Amino acid sequence: MMLRFSPRVPCLVLTALALVAMSAGADLVPTSLPPGRALLATEGLKAFSPHIGTTGEVAKFQMIPVTGPGFDRAWQVETLADTIQPWEVNLRAGNAIAVEKGDVSMIRFFARVRETADETGAGRMMVAIQSRDVRGKGSYDGDFPLTREWQEILVPFAWLYDFAPREAVINLRFGFKHQSVEIGGISAIHYGRSLELDSLPRTRISYVGREPGAPWRQEALDRIERIRKGDIRIQVSDGEGRPVGDASIRVQQTRSAFGWGTSLEMWRLVVDSPDNLRYRQVVQELFNAASTENDLKWPAWERGGGPFSQEQTLRGLKWLRDRGFHTRGHVLVWPAKKHFPKAVQDLYGTPRQAELPGIVLAHIRSITRATKGLLDEWDVLNEPYTNHDLMDFFGDDIMVSWFKTAREELPHARLFLNDFSNDDITTDPEHVAHFECTIRFLLGHGAPLDGLGLQGHFSSRPSSPANILATLDRYWKEFRLPVRFTEFDIPSSDEELQADFTRDFLILAYSHPSVVGVQHWGFWEGRHWKPPAAMYRLDWSEKPNAKAYKDLVLHQWRTDLMSKSDAAGRLSIRGFHGEYRVTVSLNGRSVEKVFTLRPDSESRWLITLPH
């Protein structure tokens, strides 16, 4: 497997790490299927041939030997660019027999991804069954995430049209981000009307650890009780210091100490429209932390235009500050040429290229000074695994200079390294290894690195919570740096799975001592980079994942109780860390006080009930 490390980072890749996700799958037993007619003219791989729907070299196809579950040959399909449409890279086969509307057939194959540029660490392919010549005349269209292990994919479907032999095609599509996929064990069976569609097995997407009573979940919930709560001791006295017994005490948590956040578009916070007003309402209801989505990226900040302007961005950040939000800036340096302003890109390959390091440092100083006092933390370095042009030209020490310059300008802000596909060692072990090597390099060269940003973009076949926890354990044991999940989302058309994984992801994150916050990468379908991942539909109705989020964050993990003081005027309880409002009442008299329950500190709250 090709390792895509920045060539200048001196990383040693442990063989065991690189092979974690490559050793399983060969023992997978194929599902037993009912017998039927052959749908294709020849068996298996030979029935399929490459088909490119565009010009240029966008993909490579070859037959290779493999050790698969019941087969020893596979098609290897390498997609060479990140900007191709799914239908532009295909393996294609035609139907060898006539089929009629209502007939039932089954496609079965095994697939795995060996290399991927996707943020989720997963590969991706589609199955499309349609007319060879007539646009829109299709019978099936399905999307499948792929892991690094062999997995069986079963696709039963009903024909929606009559097709003579060779009039229909089965397309296996691979035109997504750069990836290398292997596919073998292909079979296609035609059942006609002899079987009902629902009687056939099909691939249902899930994840390990989803089941009720999963051990990891109970262990995590137990940890939450231990590490996210503290003891509260309330003493109620009168004006002369005498204890007041039998007083009614309402203890209400008003804000969590943990960062429950989202990325935001700043203009929606300061420009009025019906959608923007609802946007702000939901932001204040659900979250206590936020970052800019695109406003502080270098081209948007410098050029402006469209929804971007520096004045509008600063107004949005002040809106968040005035409402007590924890704020993070994204991003100071995204070190690929394509992410720089056009004027900076144009310096590459010219005599002025040597000026680039100084220009980057000047940008860091300029933007941090303009936003000073409005941001609690910054992503100093973003995605160095796939974005390393500056390091390739000037060496990896340049990364250290960015952190040191940011610290000079922002002595009190937390400075983060942020990257994708780094939260589960089993899905992208090379990326995790590079992330660790980058951390060691930065710390070893004196960079003031304060935290780790794990993006948390998941495919519709998400990771096992236990695997994510194991990766967090690994980082915590070696680096002892706080972690923030900075860009969480799961785009899935299966809303039940999406809600279940949202629930489990929040549980695992809140249960780990290294994690200081979880930030969604958007929440509304009307403005989300992957609309199926949103918590709110376009009409602002809640999806199941929004209900799962609110149940945990706003109810189960927020202390709100009524009780009474004992004869000595005392009340002892446990509550979640955060800010509180306490109201004490007796015989028509009442007093309200605010307190903060902090981790690792004893909280004794004294309340005087006036005469």
pLDDT tens digits, one per residue of 578-590: 999 999 999 999 9
Phi, psi angles (nearest 5°) of residue 452: -115, 125
What contacts 74, CB < 8 A, 6 or more positions away? Answer: 45, 63, 64, 66, 68, 182, 183, 184
Tell me what pLDDT residue 13 has.
Answer: 42
Residue 331: pLDDT over 80 = yes
Contact (Cβ atoms closer than 8 angstroms) between residue 609 and residue 244 = yes
Tell me what pLDDT residue 11 has.
Answer: 58
Q: Which amino acid is at 193?
A: R
Average pLDDT over residues 32-45: 94
Q: What are the DSSP calls for 114-149, one per residue? A: EEE--TTS-EEEEEEEEESSSTT-EEEEEEEEE-SS
Backbone CA torsion sign across 587, 591, 592, 597:
negative
Residue 526: pLDDT over 90 = yes
Contact (Cβ atoms closer than 8 angstroms) between residue 415 and residue 402 = no
Cα–Cα distances (Å) from 494 to 61, 136, 143, 538, in that order, read 32, 24, 12, 17
Does domain 15-199 correspond to CATH entry 2.60.120.260? yes
Cα–Cα distances (Å) from 21 to 14, 98, 433, 464, in that order, read 13, 42, 13, 13
Q: Which residue has the higher pLDDT, 296 or 428?
A: 296
pLDDT tens digits, one per residue of 259-269: 999 999 999 99
Phi, psi angles (nearest 5°) of residue 186: -80, 135
Domain ranges within the chain, ordered by starting residue: 15-199, 215-227+258-553
pLDDT tens digits, one per residue of 139-181: 887 788 898 999 999 999 999 899 999 999 999 999 888 999 9
Tell me what pLDDT residue 84 has.
Answer: 65
Q: Determine which helix (DSSP H) or strand (DSSP E) holds 562, and give its type and residue range.
A: strand 560-564
**What angle, rounded to 10 degrees, do the helices at 215-227 and 465-479 form?**
40
- Indicate the CATH number of 215-227+258-553 among 3.40.50.300, 2.10.50.10, 3.20.20.80, 3.30.70.120: 3.20.20.80
Contact (Cβ atoms closer than 8 angstroms) between residue 266 and residue 239 = no
Tell me what pLDDT residue 83 has.
Answer: 60
Instruction: Quickly state the pLDDT bin for 23 (edges 50, 70, 90).
Output: very low
Rounded Cα gap, residues 44 and 109, in angstroms? 9
Map residue 300 onto helix, strand or coil: helix
**What angle, rounded to 10 degrees, do the helices at 465-479 and 495-511 form?**
30
Tell me what pLDDT residue 571 has.
Answer: 98
Rounded Cα gap, residues 144 and 164, in angstroms? 28
Residue with tokens 């300029």: 366
Contact (Cβ atoms closer than 8 angstroms) between residue 492 and residue 505 = no
| Of 402, 423, 414, 468, nearest in space to 289 by CA | 414
**Burial label, 113 (beta-carbon count in 10 A; 0-12, 13-18, 19+):** buried
Q: Which amino acid is at 49?
A: S
Phi, psi angles (nearest 5°) of residue 46: -65, -20
Residue 400: pLDDT over 80 = yes
pLDDT tens digits, one per residue of 401-423: 999 999 999 999 999 999 998 89
Map residue 459 onto helix, strand or coil: coil
Question: By mean pLDDT, which of 115-124, 382-391, 522-531 is the weakest?
Answer: 115-124
Q: Where are the alpha helices (DSSP H) in 189-239?
A: 215-227
Cα–Cα distances (Å) from 27 to 30, 122, 172, 199, in that order, read 9, 21, 24, 26
Peptide bond into 127 cis (omega under 30): no
Supply the DSSP symbol for 508.
Answer: H
pLDDT tens digits, one per residue of 75-115: 999 999 876 678 889 999 999 999 999 999 999 999 999 99
Does pTM surpass 0.85?
Answer: no
110: its two tokens = 């095994």
pLDDT tens digits, one per residue of 117-132: 887 788 889 899 999 9
Task: Output the average pLDDT for the chain.
Answer: 92
pLDDT tens digits, one per residue of 198-241: 999 998 888 889 999 999 999 999 999 999 999 999 999 998 99
Q: Where are the alpha helices (DSSP H) in 5-74?
A: 15-18
Tell me what pLDDT residue 447 has.
Answer: 98
Instruction: Give every strand in the sheet of 123-131, ordered side by side.
Output: 49-52, 89-94, 168-173, 123-131, 138-146
Could you tell me the maximum CA-CA distance found in the chain, to the nearest angstrom? 96
Q: Strand 515-520 relative to strand 483-488: parallel, antiparallel, unpaired?
A: parallel
Q: Which amino acid is at 33?
A: L
